[in-house]
Amino acid sequence: MHADTMPSPALPLLDVRNLCVSFPSGGRLIPIVENVSFTLAEQEILGLVGESGSGKSVTAMALMGLIDSPGVVITGSALFRGQELVGLPQKQLRRLRGRQIAMIFQDPMTAFTPVYTIGWQIDEQIRAHEKLSRKQARARTVQLLGEMGVPDPARTADRYPHQLSGGLRQRAMIAMALSCNPALLIADEPTTALDVTVQAQILDLIRNLRTSHGSSVLLITHDMGVVAETCDATLVLYSGRVAETGPTADVFARPGHPYTTALLASIPPLYGARPDRLPAIAGAPPAPLHRPAGCAFGPRCQFVHTPCLAAPPPALFAVGPSQAAACVLPAEGTPLPPRLTEGAVVTAPVSSQPPAQFSSPEAQS
């Protein structure tokens, strides 16, 4: 809040407090994102996880000031290096966009303008923010493409988007995002449209950005595996609200929210016998209009009981040194058991005996 007076090392790069985004629909405001708060330190990678429609992308778009549907209401605060992004005039936002905060998108197939070469589009971004000649910009473009592992960068720069493979296009997209050395890179499902080997390469690339370019990354994904591999911290969104937040290792070892637990249980186990069917979360997330009064996950949660249904949704409760979950269980003194050692806990009754669901007699062969 009083960030401008603080010394800069203590200042997180991005400090989001109670961000709410509401879209008008049928004469009412429908909250799509509600009270999302998080901080992102310099050179940190934060994973924003959630199902489709949980508000991940809307959060990112709100930070970038890219939501321009009429009547949208954005409240709360997002301090980027002490500068308030919410309500910042478009003109100033534009100076930040692409230069300080860059974004890469899910589908590299459609994210480039089809009628210009890749190089032209990267040059354009460089020249929009820095006074460089065409030649200098192109030199930087070629160098960036090379750094991103694009083979024969000078020739690739002269190719049109449709002439490149998905992986190459995503590399070019990242090169474009990094062209002005942004402090923050928002990656909106950067690997979803790519096949698995290319996915791993792109994730490697993103992981290395903090050392090679000193960038922080806000990684939006629905893939828990990607989060585990890549992110320092994790923020789990459910139906537009924060379900759980904390360091990735802690969240994965001791999830504090039943939703996180269920998400983790739906990953196929690497060791031990293969389950016939992966556990799934029954039901579907509520539409923003029909969100229940209490915990939004309540209707699908197996631990649901009366306090969950009461009007204000549960507040974040600290379950670890820097981990918090929006669940009443830890507050009631019955936290979920730690994961990993016992395997999945999906069908376990509240914190009682370790379930033996997937542990067949002899685990490893």
Partner 1 sequence: MITALLRRLGQTVFVLFGISALVFMVFFATPGADPTARIAGRNASPQTMEKVRKEYGFDRPLPVQYATMMKKLFITQDLASYVDRGELVVPEIARAAPVTVSLVCGAAVIWVVVSIAMGTVAAALKGTWIDRSLMMLGLVGISMPVFWLGQVTNLVTQSRYHDTWLFSWVPGLGYVPLTENPWGWFKALVIPWVVLAVMFIGIYSRVLRADLVALSGEDFMRTARAKGLSPTRVLLRHGLRTSLVTFVSLFGLDFAQLVGGGALLTEVVFGLPGVGRLTYQALTNLDLPLIMATVMYSAVFVVLANAVVDSVYLLLDPRVRDAR
162 binds partner 1 (CB under 8 A): yes
Which residue in 259, 260, 241, 242 sits closest to 251, CA to CA? 260
Residue 163 within binding range of partner 1, rule CB under 8 A: yes
State which residue, 67 or 350, has the beta carbon closest to partner 1.
67
Using CB under 8 A as the binding rule, whether residue 105 contacts partner 1 is answered as: yes
34-63 mask for partner 1 (x: CB under 8 A)? ------------------------------
What's the min distance (Å) between Cβ of 140 and partner 1? 15
**Residues 168/98, Cβ–Cβ less than 8 Å:** no
Residue 304, Ramachandran bin (φ over 0: left; ψ between -120 and 50: alpha; else beta): beta
Q: Which stretch binds partner 1 (CB under 8 A): 21-29, 107-115, 241-249, 305-313?
A: 107-115
Burial class (CB in 10 A: 0-12, 13-18, 19+), 217: buried
> Per-residue b/e over 260-280, b at no fewer than 16 CB within 10 Å?
bbbbbbeeeeeeeeeeeeebe
Q: Supply the minimum distance, in Å, between the C-beta of residue 66 and partner 1.
A: 6
- Using CB under 8 A, which of the segments 14-22, 157-165, 264-272, 282-290 binds partner 1? 157-165
Of 2 and 162, which has the nearer Cβ to partner 1? 162
CA gap 131, 288 in Å, rounded: 45
113 contacts partner 1 (rule: CB under 8 A): yes
80 is a contact residue toward partner 1 (CB under 8 A): no
Rule CB under 8 A: say whether 95 interacts with partner 1. Answer: yes
CB of 94 to partner 1, least distance (A): 5
What is the C-alpha end-to-end distance of the chain, expressed in Å?
56
CB 199: neighbour CB atoms within 10 A?
20
| 84: β partners | 79
Residues 6+ apart with CB under 8 A from 315: 326
Of 14, 142, 176, 348, which one interacts with partner 1 (CB under 8 A)?
176
Asked if residue 160 binds partner 1 (CB under 8 A), the reply is: yes
Q: How far is the CB of 160 from partner 1 (least distance, A)?
A: 4
DSSP state of 222: S
Give whichever of 101 and 296 is closer to partner 1, judged by the CB atom: 101
Question: Residue 357 Cβ, how far from partner 1 at the closest point, in Å?
Answer: 42
Q: Give the burial class of 133: count Cβ atoms within 10 A of its Cβ; 0-12 exposed, 13-18 middle, 19 or more buried.
A: exposed
Within 10 angstroms of residue 289's Cβ, the number of other Cβ atoms is 10
- Select 49 or 111, whichever has its Cβ closest to partner 1: 111
Residues at the contact surface with partner 1, assessed by CB under 8 A = 64, 66, 70, 90, 94-99, 102-103, 105, 107, 110-116, 124-125, 128-129, 160, 162-163, 173, 176
